[in-house]
Structure 1
Amino acid sequence: MKRRAWLLGTTVGAGALLLGWMALPQRSRLGLASMMAPGEGDIALNGWIKILPDSSVVLAMPRSEMGQGVHTALPQLAAEELDVPLASVRIEQAGWDAVYGNVAMLVGNLPFHPLEEEREDGFGRVKAGRWLVGKFSRELGLNATGGSSSVADAWEVVRLAAATARASLLGAASLQWKLPAEDLKTARGVVSHPSGRSITYGELARVAAATPPGVVQLKDRKEWRVIGQPAPRLDVPAKVNGSARFGLDVRLPGMRFAALRLAPMLRGAPGRVDAQAALAMPGVDRVVTLPAYAGSTAGIAAVADSYWRAQQALNAVQVDWLPPPGSGPDSQRVQEDLRRAVERRDGYRFFEQGEVDRPLRAGARTLEAWYSAPFLAHATLEPMNATARVAGGRVEVWAPTQVPGMCRAAAARVAGVPEDHVDLHVTLLGGGFGRRLEVDYVAQAVRVAMDLPGVPVQLIWSREEDMRHDFYRPMHVARMRAVLGAGGEALGLHIKSAGDAISPRWMERGLPALAGPVDLPDKTASEGLFDQPYEFDDQRIEHVFAHTGVPVGFWRSVGHSHNAFFTESFVDELASELRRDPVEFRRALLRRAPRHRAVLDLAAERSGWGLRPLPAGRARGVALHESFGTVVAQVAEVSLERGLVRVHRVVCAVDCGTVVNPQIVAQQMEGAVVFGLTAALHGRIDIRDGVVQQGNFPEYPMLRLASAPLVETYIVPSERPPAGVGEPGVPPIAPAVANALFALTGQRNRSLPFAL
């Protein structure tokens, strides 16, 4: 009885605390000036903005630069609201306070249909869900670069921080001159008065730090001079002259180098290790056995005075590799199992309306097709690497990472020190694509450095280890079924897919405080299927979650990367079956999606769809897809040259909300097309008995420069808040090319990569 009363009291108390927490206003993300690292002569005005004596500005940068242009776009936001030239804004790595967490990324992972909020009247479930998750995310403070969310997340907080700093500077000048603040103006780092008086930000900064900002007002978009302009990338000069520092560029006094070899079979481990011959080699310090950190496969590392010597030492080590318990995964068997799962198991229903089975019972005609996508590696240009030094109860790490907070936590766990005893330096990333949302390589570097106290050790994965021990894009299959009416219309849509869930596996290995496995429904498995914008009266979109035994992770555009291929190829099949033009058929299914129609129309117009015939031997294909809040339509012009697919031109129309830098948008669309084409034409990871067969670029080829298409990008003007740009250009390219190939050959490609 006492225990029952205690449980009841605890539950009531917890409920009261939760209600009290929900009633509190959302945590401010402006932060305190003390959160920014102090420097000689600089003055912090809040948690994001510092002013230097020369009136230049320092912006706290919580996101990683991996080619997406965030080190330029976020300074543009600050430069706009502070009225300073973009060239005068510098960045420094943000600290670890929750104000720097990525709220937009977590809110964007909610499994809502993108049209729900637009159709929602008042504060409905979508707005309520986003408010609640946003509030929780502000408290959690997860610092991550992913989900094409960097600009979306910074849009309000960076502008507000800069506008607040500007208001404090105006207030300081007002106090000094005893003039109304509303009579003062700011321009190019100077506060001025119509009387001719002027003073620089640098001269005002110390007084401004002690001056309340008063009324803070963001600029009206009619006043913008920096936002929306095609400013040159700030990170390009250093990358051109070689001064930019990536993870592999880190050099420290007395540094040693570690080469890595993991068990050949996924989830295997080293048994007997004979390192005697390796340790006798010149310059070799240690051979370290590595457990399976953060979801990785176990292995060994050799440490020497050069990476080449470390590699040679690895070749001399005799290891008895132990297979994992049971049989290793096999990609062909995985695909067969997934297809059986679709046929025999119930799926989680992400979206349902109407009654899909009703027309079937009435004897309506159906169209059915199976689609599949393989495992894929990230194949970043810069292989996994990290540098670590362990001494005196502290750890220092240099890492190209998308999750600095999780890296600190992993380093602390391995070294057995508190997190605040870990100093992390985030370098530039030579490609991320989701692979550097993992922390396995950081944990390994710290473990190796523990064997050489006080000595910095740089751990480098070879290309072969990088490709054979990735966290792969999962293999998925989907059964697409449509119900066709007698009048040539599509009445119902039933999609049932199967494949691994990424988010639960990532949480298990990156957040070990979670007790046991996490098996919540994962939106990423069905995104691009359940949230497609086409209107069918009857719909059911479901997914069967699988555990294939293959380590899986986030891959650029995640579930959209293959699900867009499934949906947009199948919509094209429907258009062909019903003898409808592919563009006009899509337009008819987008009656209540004007934003999608506008993007589709722009791509069709600019490509000459239905207006300008192509030369003989060429054909066009179209695809439309929304991901990360951005709608992209692509029209691909394709031919076959000596039996090989050649994509000549891709016309890309984009609605990504308010554009901060149109030049970066165009660059990201171009890069996404090349990235997506590489996967569509060449990408596949084959696994046999737990061993990945591809090991380097000869077996996992990239799209060559001579084969890259001309990419034209057209932006739909919008006053919506900014949405994602780094990933949304990837999903439509595979179906656009597949649909062009059908128009050219009459043959459907329902699996990736394309087989002709």
Structure 2
Amino acid sequence: MQDLIKHHNAASTDIEVEVIAPENPSRRDLLKAGLFGIGGLVLGFSLPSAQKAYAATATSPPKKYPVKGWLQLTENGELAMVIPVSEMGQGSQTAVAMILADELGADYQKIQIRMPTNNSLYNNPIYGMQITGGSTAVRAWWQPMRVVAATLREMLISAAAKQWQVSTQQCSLENGFVMDSSIARKVALQDLISAAQTIQPPKNPPLKKADQYRYIGKPMPRVDTFAKTDGSAIFGMDVQLPDMLIATVVQSPVFGGKLHRFDEAAAKSVNGVQAVVKIPNGIAVVADSYWQAKKGLEKLNPTFTGGETAGLDTAVIEKRLQSGLQKSGESVKAGKVATDFAHEYDAIYRAPYLAHATMEPMNATAQVTDAKCEVWAPTQNQTMSAQVAADISLMQPSQVIIHTTYLGGGFGRRAYVDFVAQAVTLSMEMGRPVKVIWSREEDMQHDFYRPAAVCGFKVQTDAQGMPLSWQSKVVSDSTMAEFTNGSDTMIDNAMSDGIADQEYGLENVSLSVVREDMKIPVGFWRSVGHSYSGFFMEGMLNELALKAKRDPFEYRYALLKKESRTTGVLNQLEKLSGWKNSNGAVGKGVAVVQSFGSFAGQVIEARLQNNKIVIDKVYCVIDCGIVVNPEIVKRQMSSGIIFALTAALKGKVHFADGRVTESNFDNYPMLTMQETPEIIVEIVNSNEAPGGYGEPGVPPLAPALAAAVGQLTGKIYRELPIKI
């Protein structure tokens, strides 16, 4: 990417740099912005608009991103980076810190990390809002961070060279110092800030080559390790403020229901209970401690009436999804139907509603005064948190401050801000800081669930079993309609991702989408639409390969171009897994899915023991382009595999009388350590632009597992979770 850099002097002593990059139509997600600043030295830049497919998530994103304080120097001379990426265990803060440190020439080991408060200038370049999700942290900031760091590096070198009256050619920036190679002298970065303000930013700062990287590509230690080890890391649950109260809530178990009656006197009879406060669709008990609030809520004994999902149960939901296959739907892709074919295959695949079940239940702390509204929250979405806080507190946006803590898991759930709204409401009512904490039961039964979906296939093949035409129809609900308050008929890309835009050279592909709005709150769940479309698409391919009596690797090779990155993943995966080494007692399955700018494939080895599925090994290969920290990539792929295994073997949210029946980990179980298989991950060596890795580990798991179990039982599994 050829970067064009424009510069001008700001009205103050700050220096702003605008970086503009031409669009690259080969990239799915286009960078739109970047930001940087150091002390009084400020760099800002702007990149072209994000892809229109995600335009619905943006809230009038600014065209330019001049940001102060991106990189700060502490009093003891160490670097502090302000990183607009929520840290929920995925290691994004570490990766972004490595990018900046490497390109700048800073000492990574001395960098401290600070999370910014809410500000539209910190918007995610892809989404146009301050949000973390979609495996975009590295993808969004890879190029902007390098350009800005390189610009600053050259300015600092020029400032030092000017002071020393030497050529910049004999100077370099290493380990936080500008070095003069001619006489072995050096100067610290903090001593060059004033002088650097007089330097005109270079138009095309040279970016380091891969062989010049000191940190990028290496398994550097995470920046949050010590804090999470010694207990100093602050999660939402850990926030403590003077004079703070604790609240817990109960909401209508039927979505959209209204509060009917409650016993306020009984609740207030509990020692420590300060107030009972009505909230939208529910009620809260505020007390001196969580235990007192919880006991007060039990005494409150609230009842609810009505609700949009009244009478809805799992059987009705499944019937509606099935009947949706008879509707015409909205055409996403149209292809001809083959008339001259040897075989025709019909199949219906099904995936259920799923909960996020983050280890840290929903919580937030708010303090509303006459002057400002402050919120401390484990949130993925600072933009919407600030918006809802301003609306409820009747404050101007400039009066709202969102402090982002560490997140005890997110997976998309914390992109929603219902718990933030409750904290602000309760603080306003009490006139004191209030921390709201949901019980596990409340968290499980008031999620924004991964929507259930069904997919009907009709495929015509030739005599060798290769597809001649391929028709598919997906019936599901819209996550984006929920997120953006869209219409009841809104269709979004998540409903067709992975089917409309897959890597195989299939001819005459037709795809239509049917929206079934169950009035159940749905949302982003790790890998979003790919979480079920991967199972649908790869499951059908494994089924076709089986019917054609062809090896599933060979079947895929025949459908892919040799230069495809998916082909490279399959080649490496076949070798890693020892695919051709057979063992009759072990079932093997394979799947490969392109998602979030990356290509991931998995092979599963499973067996049956006492009529139960036992997974021994999962082999995984990912091509995620240039890798910043390989250890983080491997851990995230392993995390995604465990997350997906839980869903594939156990995950299903049931409904009865309009409410969720699951309430805790006893009836919505997680994969245990004993059940967790050995996971072997390899990364494809690639010079392609960085892809995501927080989510691509999820989609291949279910179809690979279904194929492995099917090899043992002789059955075809088209429904999740997998039961033998």
TM-score by length of structure 1 reads 0.86
Out of 153, 169, 180, which is 1:166 matched to? 153
- Cα distance, 1:363 vs structure 2: 6.1
In 2, distance between residues paired with 1:377 and 1:257? 25
Q: Secondary structure at the match of 1:278?
A: helix
Query: Which letter does structure 1 place at the counterpart of 2:111?
Result: V
The alpha-carbon distance between structure 1 residues 156 and 99, as it changes in their structure 2 partners (threshold 3 A), is: farther
Out of 315, 338, 358, which is 2:338 matched to? 358
Query: Which letter does structure 2 place at the counterpart of 1:736?
Result: A
The answer for the alignment partner of 1:700 in structure 2 is 668
- Cα distance, 1:682 vs structure 2: 0.3
In 2, distance between residues paired with 1:96 and 1:282? 37
In 1, distance between residues paired with 2:75 and 2:295? 52
In 2, distance between residues paired with 1:36 and 1:351? 50
Query: Which letter does structure 1 place at the counterpart of 2:510?
Result: R
Is residue 348 of structure 2 the alignment partner of residue 348 of structure 1?
no
Contact kept, 8 Å, 2:258 with 2:306, in 1: the verdict is yes
Is residue 200 of structure 2 the alignment partner of residue 212 of structure 1?
yes
Q: Could you tell me the percent identity over the aligned residues?
A: 39
Is residue 319 of structure 2 the alignment partner of residue 336 of structure 1?
yes
Out of 379, 403, 407, which is 1:429 matched to? 407
The answer for the alignment partner of 1:536 in structure 2 is 506
Unaligned runs of 5+ in 2: 1-21, 24-30, 43-65
The answer for the alignment partner of 2:521 in structure 1 is 551
The alpha-carbon distance between structure 1 residues 258 and 412, as it changes in their structure 2 partners (threshold 3 A), is: same
In 2, distance between residues paired with 1:349 and 1:745? 37
- Cα distance, 1:520 vs structure 2: 4.3
The alpha-carbon distance between structure 1 residues 317 and 254, as it changes in their structure 2 partners (threshold 3 A), is: same
Out of 678, 683, 687, which is 1:715 matched to? 683
- Cα distance, 1:78 vs structure 2: 0.8
In 1, distance between residues paired with 2:309 and 2:173? 69
- What does 1:681-692 correspond to in 2, within 5 Å? 681-692=649-660
- What does 1:612-651 correspond to in 2, within 5 Å? 612-614=581-583, 616-651=584-619
Is residue 236 of structure 2 the alignment partner of residue 247 of structure 1?
yes
- Cα distance, 1:96 vs structure 2: 4.2
Contact kept, 8 Å, 2:116 with 2:403, in 1: the verdict is no
Is residue 471 of structure 2 the alignment partner of residue 484 of structure 1?
no
The answer for the alignment partner of 2:80 in structure 1 is 58
The answer for the alignment partner of 2:54 in structure 1 is none
Q: Secondary structure at the match of 2:695?
A: coil
Query: Which letter does structure 2 place at the counterpart of 1:348?
Result: E
The answer for the alignment partner of 1:398 in structure 2 is 376
CA-to-partner distance for each residue in 1:691-730, whole Å, 9 max, x for gaps?
1100000100000001101111111111111110000000
The answer for the alignment partner of 2:476 in structure 1 is 499
Query: Which letter does structure 2 place at the counterpart of 1:63?
Result: V
The alpha-carbon distance between structure 1 residues 317 and 189, as it changes in their structure 2 partners (threshold 3 A), is: same
The alpha-carbon distance between structure 1 residues 500 and 363, as it changes in their structure 2 partners (threshold 3 A), is: same
- Cα distance, 1:50 vs structure 2: 2.4
Is residue 167 of structure 2 the alignment partner of residue 180 of structure 1?
yes
- Cα distance, 1:350 vs structure 2: 2.2
Contact kept, 8 Å, 2:465 with 2:544, in 1: the verdict is no
Is residue 631 of structure 2 the alignment partner of residue 671 of structure 1?
no
Out of 153, 177, 183, which is 1:195 matched to? 183
Query: Which letter does structure 1 place at the counterpart of 2:159?
Result: A
The answer for the alignment partner of 2:296 in structure 1 is 313
- Cα distance, 1:273 vs structure 2: 3.0
Query: Which letter does structure 1 place at the counterpart of 2:566?
Result: H
Q: How many residues are treated as equivalent by the alignment? A: 671
- Cα distance, 1:571 vs structure 2: 0.4
- Cα distance, 1:524 vs structure 2: 0.5
The answer for the alignment partner of 1:578 in structure 2 is 548
In 2, distance between residues paired with 1:176 and 1:208? 10
The alpha-carbon distance between structure 1 residues 748 and 274, as it changes in their structure 2 partners (threshold 3 A), is: same
**Higher mean displacement: 530-539 or 658-667:** 530-539
Is residue 249 of structure 2 the alignment partner of residue 272 of structure 1?
no
Q: Secondary structure at the match of 1:337?
A: helix
In 2, distance between residues paired with 1:517 and 1:708? 42
Is residue 560 of structure 2 the alignment partner of residue 590 of structure 1?
yes
Out of 696, 703, 709, which is 1:741 matched to? 709
The answer for the alignment partner of 2:306 in structure 1 is 323
Is residue 433 of structure 2 the alignment partner of residue 456 of structure 1?
yes
The alpha-carbon distance between structure 1 residues 97 and 265, as it changes in their structure 2 partners (threshold 3 A), is: closer
CA-to-partner distance for each residue in 1:76-98, whole Å, 9 max, x for gaps?
00110111221111222235444
Query: Which letter does structure 2 place at the counterpart of 1:426?
Result: T
In 2, distance between residues paired with 1:47 and 1:253? 29
Query: Which letter does structure 1 place at the counterpart of 2:616?
Result: H
The alpha-carbon distance between structure 1 residues 488 and 478, as it changes in their structure 2 partners (threshold 3 A), is: closer
The answer for the alignment partner of 1:367 in structure 2 is 345
Query: Which letter does structure 2 place at the counterpart of 1:285?
Result: Q
The alpha-carbon distance between structure 1 residues 608 and 31, as it changes in their structure 2 partners (threshold 3 A), is: closer
- Cα distance, 1:753 vs structure 2: 0.5
Query: Which letter does structure 1 place at the counterpart of 2:607?
Result: S
Contact kept, 8 Å, 1:490 with 1:536, in 2: the verdict is yes
Q: Secondary structure at the match of 1:451?
A: helix
Q: Secondary structure at the match of 1:285?
A: strand
Query: Which letter does structure 2 place at the counterpart of 1:29?
Result: G
CA-to-partner distance for each residue in 1:622-646, whole Å, 9 max, x for gaps?
0010110110010000011111111
CA-to-partner distance for each residue in 1:243-284, whole Å, 9 max, x for gaps?
111000111122111011111212112123330121122111
Q: Secondary structure at the match of 1:705?
A: coil
Is residue 451 of structure 2 the alignment partner of residue 474 of structure 1?
yes
Is residue 707 of structure 2 the alignment partner of residue 731 of structure 1?
no
Contact kept, 8 Å, 1:49 with 1:162, in 2: the verdict is no
In 2, distance between residues paired with 1:736 and 1:331? 26
Unaligned runs of 5+ in 1: 1-21, 38-43, 107-140, 292-297, 509-515
The answer for the alignment partner of 2:35 in structure 1 is 30
CA-to-partner distance for each residue in 1:589-627, whole Å, 9 max, x for gaps?
1126521001011111110011x233x421111001011
CA-to-partner distance for each residue in 1:436-461, whole Å, 9 max, x for gaps?
000000001111111111x2111000
In 2, distance between residues paired with 1:156 and 1:408? 28
Is residue 361 of structure 2 the alignment partner of residue 378 of structure 1?
no
CA-to-partner distance for each residue in 1:351-376, whole Å, 9 max, x for gaps?
334x1x232xx464211111100000
Query: Which letter does structure 2 place at the counterpart of 1:60?
Result: V
Contact kept, 8 Å, 2:447 with 2:521, in 1: the verdict is yes
- Cα distance, 1:149 vs structure 2: 0.5
- Cα distance, 1:342 vs structure 2: 1.1
The alpha-carbon distance between structure 1 residues 99 and 449, as it changes in their structure 2 partners (threshold 3 A), is: closer
In 2, distance between residues paired with 1:187 and 1:267? 59
CA-to-partner distance for each residue in 1:283-304, whole Å, 9 max, x for gaps?
110100111xxxxxx1111011
Contact kept, 8 Å, 1:171 with 1:208, in 2: the verdict is yes
In 2, distance between residues paired with 1:275 and 1:433? 36
Contact kept, 8 Å, 2:379 with 2:407, in 1: the verdict is yes
- Cα distance, 1:75 vs structure 2: 0.3
The alpha-carbon distance between structure 1 residues 519 and 207, as it changes in their structure 2 partners (threshold 3 A), is: farther
- Cα distance, 1:426 vs structure 2: 0.1
The alpha-carbon distance between structure 1 residues 45 and 319, as it changes in their structure 2 partners (threshold 3 A), is: closer
The alpha-carbon distance between structure 1 residues 28 and 153, as it changes in their structure 2 partners (threshold 3 A), is: closer
In 1, distance between residues paired with 2:677 and 2:582? 19
The answer for the alignment partner of 1:87 in structure 2 is 109
The alpha-carbon distance between structure 1 residues 326 and 574, as it changes in their structure 2 partners (threshold 3 A), is: closer
Contact kept, 8 Å, 1:52 with 1:202, in 2: the verdict is no
The alpha-carbon distance between structure 1 residues 96 and 307, as it changes in their structure 2 partners (threshold 3 A), is: closer
The answer for the alignment partner of 1:654 in structure 2 is 622
Query: Which letter does structure 1 place at the counterpart of 2:78?
Result: S
In 2, distance between residues paired with 1:363 and 1:576? 18
The alpha-carbon distance between structure 1 residues 196 and 559, as it changes in their structure 2 partners (threshold 3 A), is: same
